[in-house]
Every structure is written in structure tokens, then in C-alpha cells.
């Protein structure tokens, strides 16, 4: 019996020890939780505010890149006007392309405007007589060359300021509506007259000045054959309306320089085609 008692007691001791070991292994199961909490919040005083500050700062930081791109288009669109027009960087260039896509700055005014020594269909010495000096010299030669061939050319309208073009365009809109006005008149900033390099011409009698009936006249026929010799092109030729965005205007000539003009005429190209800026929408 003593042996049995001893064996039983020993068995009880072993079982007690094993049960105690099982309780010790249960402690690590809660330990990682406490450990993780301690790692994330090493200091209870700071851990309460630290995650909040981080969480709050993180969304604010993430919104900054969103605001930056939205601000960028505004910056880029500022010089290109509300209707998507691109503002020309070098408006003083003799070959500057001005049309329904490319606009002069509203503040642009040529610094070398002069009065060309040619006859005009009006007597007043006003703004629309002026041209840039290089174009003025060229138009004088053109008028003299035409006269030698028995053709009398007179100026109708040359330079216009932004303010003048704005007033003129608004008048046409009131008369014919915006859609129709845009076929024969330019939105302010997009008129070649604002460059000081373009001029509308007619016969010296002023008949059919800036009107469709000018086409087919002896003056119009002479211009079509000879303008490039003096550095001009007929800016809005027949059959190119969908490219230029304007109706045929045999009276509107534009100075681009002799070499460029001759090359354009030889290739039968508009400025849009020549400078690979096609098409221009109406």
C-alpha cells in the first residue's frame, strides 16, 4: 500500500507540474498583443496623440498632389484665353501665324508702325493707314509695280488695334449673328490686321472694296499673279475656306517676306498648310 500511495502521490505531482506548464504557455498568447501595443505606442502619453496626428496629416499630404495638377491647367490656360486659343509667343515675327487657333496677346501693338506712301480710298491719316515698316516698304513697291502694268491699287484697311477689332467684330455680330460674322471677321486678337503686316486693297476708285465683287476684277487678277514678287500672299484663297476658316478674300494680302511668299505660292499652300497647322475650324 505504501508503494501504491507513493506512486499515486508521484503521479499527482507530475500532473500538477504538467497543468502548470499549460498555464505558462497560455501567457505568450496574450504577450504578442501587449508587445504589439507597446511597439506601436512606446509611450502611452504620446501614443494617444501620435496616431491621430499621423492619420490627420496623411490625408492632407495626399490631397496636395491633387490640388497641384488642378492648379497647373489654370496656369497654362491663362495665356490661352477662355475659348482655348493659344497665345502667340513671338507676335513680332514677320511670319507669325494668326488665325482661329492662334491669337496675338491683347496688349500687343507693333512698335514700328508707319504710314506707307500709297493712295487709300479715304483721305484721313488714321490708324488703318498704318503698317509695320517692312510691310509698308513692300506695299509701296507693289503699288508702284502694279502702276507700271497699268493697274491702280489703293489701300482700304491696314492696321487695327485690339480695341478696334473688338468694336468691329461686335458690330458684325449684332448685324449678322456670331456664326456668320466669324466667316468674314475675326475675333479680337485673331485678326491679321492686328499684326500690322496685312492690308485690304482695291482699285483706286474704291469700287467693290472688301466685297465679293472685287474677285475677277483686273486688280484682283493682277494681285493673284504678282503679290508674291513683293513678299505678299493672298491670305484667304478660293477653295481653301475649310482650312483658313474664312471665305475667299482676294483683297486681303499679307506680308511674309519674298522667299516665303514665293515658296507658298509655288506650293499652292495657305499659311496653315505651310506651317503644318491644319485644319482651322470655322
Q: What are the pLDDT digits (tens) for 221-272?
A: 999 999 999 999 999 999 999 999 999 999 999 999 999 999 999 999 999 9
CA distances, 97 to each of 118, 167, 189, 194, 278 (Å): 26, 23, 12, 12, 12
Q: What are the pLDDT digits (tens) for 98-141?
A: 999 999 999 999 999 999 999 999 999 999 999 999 999 999 99
In this prediction the pTM is 0.70
Cis peptide before 279 (omega within 30 of 0): yes
**DSSP letter for each residue of 72-120:** HHHHHHGGG-TT-PEEPS-TT-TT---SSSEE--TT---S-EE--SS-B
- Picking from 90, 97, 101, the residue whose alpha carbon sits closest to that of residue 271 is 97
Collapsed DSSP state (helix, strand, coil) of residue 233: strand
Amino acid at each position: 500500500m505504501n508503494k501504491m500511495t507513493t506512486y499515486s502521490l508521484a503521479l499527482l505531482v507530475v500532473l500538477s507540474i504538467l497543468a502548470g506548464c499549460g498555464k505558462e504557455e497560455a501567457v505568450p498568447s496574450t504577450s504578442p498583443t501587449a508587445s504589439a501595443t507597446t511597439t506601436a505606442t512606446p509611450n502611452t502619453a504620446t501614443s494617444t496623440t501620435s496616431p491621430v496626428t499621423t492619420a490627420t496629416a496623411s490625408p492632407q499630404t495626399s490631397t496636395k498632389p491633387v490640388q497641384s495638377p488642378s492648379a497647373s491647367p489654370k496656369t497654362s490656360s491663362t495665356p490661352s484665353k477662355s475659348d482655348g486659343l493659344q497665345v502667340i509667343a513671338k507676335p513680332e515675327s514677320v511670319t507669325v501665324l494668326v488665325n482661329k487657333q492662334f491669337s496675338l496677346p491683347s496688349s500687343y501693338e507693333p512698335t514700328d508702325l508707319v504710314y506707307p506712301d500709297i493712295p487709300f480710298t479715304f483721305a484721313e491719316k488714321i490708324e488703318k493707314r498704318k503698317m509695320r515698316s517692312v510691310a509698308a516698304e513692300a506695299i509701296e513697291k507693289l503699288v508702284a509695280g502694279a502702276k507700271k502694268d497699268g493697274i491702280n491699287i489703293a489701300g482700304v484697311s491696314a492696321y487695327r488695334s485690339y480695341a478696334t477689332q473688338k468694336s468691329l467684330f461686335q458690330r458684325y455680330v449684332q448685324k449678322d449673328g456670331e456664326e456668320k460674322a466669324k466667316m468674314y471677321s475675326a475675333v479680337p486678337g485673331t485678326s491679321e490686321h492686328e499684326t500690322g503686316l496685312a492690308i485690304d486693297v482695291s482699285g483706286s476708285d474704291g469700287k467693290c472694296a472688301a466685297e465679293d465683287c472685287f474677285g475677277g476684277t483686273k486688280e484682283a487678277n493682277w494681285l493673284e499673279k504678282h503679290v508674291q514678287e513683293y513678299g505678299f500672299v493672298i491670305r484667304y484663297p478660293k477653295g481653301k475656306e475649310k482650312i483658313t476658316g474664312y471665305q475667299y478674300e482676294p483683297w486681303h494680302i499679307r506680308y511674309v517676306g519674298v522667299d516665303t511668299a514665293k515658296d507658298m505660292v509655288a506650293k499652292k499652300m495657305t499659311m496653315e498648310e505651310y506651317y503644318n497647322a491644319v485644319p482651322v475650324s470655322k
